[in-house]
């Protein structure tokens, strides 16, 4: 299983599944990250936290813990 946390800069991936429960999963879905959505990884901070992505036409920064809940292909 590969997660969004493992993706290198300048890569496009597709969301396969969201892990997590309750409010955390709902917050990720409210940001536009749902199954089948294309995500482009723009930047990764030097220590890996946060990850800046482009999703549905806007930029979004995700914590490493949140990015780990997003399974991609």
pLDDT of residue 46: 86
CA angle 22, 19, 66 (to 5 degrees): 85
Per-residue pLDDT at 69: 92
CATH architecture of 2-72: Roll (2.30)
Q: What is the pLDDT of residues 8-61, one digit of tens each?
A: 899 999 999 999 888 989 999 999 999 999 999 999 988 878 999 999 999 999
pTM of the model: 0.85
In contact, 6 and 73? CB cutoff 8 Å? no
> Per-domain residue ranges for the chain?
2-72
Asked if the bond preceding 50 is cis, omega within 30° of 0, the reply is yes
**pLDDT value at residue 42:** 93
User: Per the structure block, which two tokens stand in for 7?
Assistant: 């993706």
Is 15 strand, coil or helix?
strand
Report pLDDT for 26.
92
């Amino acid at each position: 299983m590969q997660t969004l946390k493992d993706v290198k800069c300048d890569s496009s991936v597709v969301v396969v599944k969201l892990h997590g429960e309750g409010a955390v999963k709902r917050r990720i879905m409210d940001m536009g990250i749902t199954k089948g959505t294309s995500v482009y990884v723009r930047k990764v901070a030097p220590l890996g936290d946060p990850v800046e992505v482009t999703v549905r036409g806007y930029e979004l920064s995700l914590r490493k813990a949140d990015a780990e809940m997003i399974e991609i292909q």
